[in-house]
Structure 1
Amino acid sequence: MNRKRFWNWKEPDEKEPRTLYLNGTIAEESWFEDDVTPELFREELYADEGDIVVWINSPGGDVIAGAQIYNMLLDYPGHVTIKIDGIAASAASVIAMAGDLLFMSPVSMMMIHNPMTVAIGDHVEMEKAIDMLASFKDSIINAYEKKTGLSRDELSLLMDAETWMDVGKAMELGFCDSVLQTASDYVYNESKPTMLFSRKAVTNSLLIKVKESHAVSANELVSRLDTIKNQWR
């Protein structure tokens, strides 16, 4: 099964550790029930040893992919440094929480918000979808809570408000440890141009996928919830 890659490795040299770039949409094609893409990511992560640097420039994407990548990085035995040079929004902000240290560029942004989906069915199906989204939110808060030390109620309110943070605000709230300050903090990033989050764009994307797949049942959404619950620790 071929999937569009959203990650790229730069092998270490004398000056730089292993470097991972996460660019663009995280799993543009959902890897739910896809055993190939997650395993490929894991194999490449563990293909070598030592500390790694992860550069993030992503508007977010698939919450299940974000959960699995978060757990893989969290479990990695080496030191993981996260550097946000563009944007880390939505699922990408969750991945960023896996770093032992998290740095943001003076001009980068982080955004957290409530999970969203599209579901089709009667009122029972809609109630299942609402419950599913609430549980997804609780799971995501686990990652934010571990990093920031903020209360779950505080984090819930920040997600409700769709909170955008520059480096100063992110440091104030505990999402970021420090700012990238010197030229040596930056390395050449073969990234795509920064992609800003747009609620309209995300909604349109979801609607297109629903049309292509004809429907997403609440039962399937609940199944996805069970998958992500098994991923969070």
Structure 2
Amino acid sequence: MKINVKGAIVPNNEKWIYDLLDMDATSPNDIIDALPSTNEDVEIIINSGGGEVMSGSEIYTALKSYAGNVNVKVVGVAASAASVIAMAGDTIEMSPTAQMMIHNASTLAYGDDRAMASASKMLNSVNRGIANAYMNKTGKSEQEILDLMNEESWMSAQDAVDLGFADSKMFDESATRLVANTGHMIPKNAIDKVSAMMNKTPEIKIDVEQIANKVIEKLEEKEEVSKPQNKVKHKFFF
């Protein structure tokens, strides 16, 4: 079953506005309501620039809690909150043209210095929370992840695979066979050609008329040999 994560990641109570304006958006309830009760495998198709952190966290948690297999495919971009959602996949594939981006959370704040200090403290806490999703997937340390987030890291499909944020690139069917051997090996394409030739069913041409003529000749030869030279009485069996 395919479930789309497209457009902005928004709270449930704001989704109707995007629907009214015919704009792509995904809320937690969109995903939770779409998950099948049969626990069958699901494919999450992501093309989103991110959005509200807590909505992304709720979607991530719902997917991680799902009993069936969750296969994520990033077909466009998985940025910010959408990259957190991607980390919920049991497997994560990226289109070779797709991008993933991770960065620090941001907010709007106003007030005195105490309000600003409180907002800063809150953002640091949110960043560490977000980092957990990346750490669980990549196996990297918190500091390594926070450094990548501080740099606002954009990753191609290959970058994401190399860094552990994705498992594979979509359509990558030309994996190179690695060989540890000092001798000579027959090239793989040569082996394939020989296998194809060996498996090819041989054509057998049968000349029915020629076979019939041969049979007649043999019968005539036997008839000549078996002709009696003298008359004999017939034998009867009882």
Return the letter of the residue paired with 1:134: N
Q: Which of these residues, 141, 155, 165, is aligned with residue 151 of structure 1?
A: 141
Which residue of 127, 130, 139 corresponds with 1:137?
127
Supply the AA of the counterpart residue of 2:32. R
Q: Counterparts of 1:127 and 1:32 in 2: how far apart (Å)?
A: 29
Q: How big is the shift at 1:84?
A: 0.4
Provide the residue aligned with 2:111 in structure 1: 121
- Residues 35-78 of structure 1: CA deviation (Å, up to 9, x unaligned): xx645642332444300000000000010000000000000000
Quote the Cα distance in structure 2 between the aligned partners of 1:171 and 1:182. Answer: 12
Which whole-Å deviations, capped at 9, do the CAs of 1:110-141 have from their partners, x for residues lacking one?
00000000011111111110000000000000
Q: Is the 8 A contact 1:19 1:53 kept in 2?
A: yes
What SS is found at the alignment partner of 2:8?
Answer: coil
Identity of aligned residues (%): 44
Match of 1:22 in 2: 5
What do residues 176-218 of structure 1 show as CA deviations (whole Å, max 9, x unaligned)? 00010169xxxxxxxxxxxxxxxxxxxxxxxxxxxxxxxxxxx
**Counterparts of residues 23-172 of structure 1 (less than 5 Å):** 23-27=6-10, 30-31=11-12, 38-39=28-29, 41-172=31-162
* Structure 1 segments unaligned to the other structure (5+ residues): 1-17, 184-233
Report the secondary structure of 1:92's partner residue. helix
Q: Is the 8 A contact 2:3 2:31 kept in 1?
A: no
The one-letter code sitting in structure 2 at the alignment partner of 1:104 is M
Letter in 2 for 1:142: N
Inter-partner Cα distance in structure 1 for 2:48 and 2:125: 24
Kept in 2, the 8 Å contact 1:32–1:64? The answer is no
Preserved CA contact (<8 Å) 1:82 1:96: yes
- Greater relative contact order (CA < 8 Å, ≥ 6 in sequence): 1
- The residue that corresponds to 1:174 in the other structure is 164
Whether the aligned pair in 1 keeps the contact of 2:3 and 2:45 (CA below 8 Å) is: yes
Counterpart CA distance in 2 for 1:100 and 1:180 is 15
- CA gap of 1:167–1:40, structure 2 versus 1, over 3 A, is closer
SS in 2 for 1:85: strand
Letter in 2 for 1:19: K
1:163/1:103 CA distance change after superposition, 3 Å: same
**CA RMSD, Structure 1 to Structure 2 (Å):** 2.0
- Residue 44 of structure 1 aligns with an amino acid whose one-letter code is A
Contact 1:144 1:175 in 2 (8 A): yes
State the secondary structure of the residue aligned to 1:111: strand
Aligned residues: 162
1:32 Cα deviation after fit: 7.7
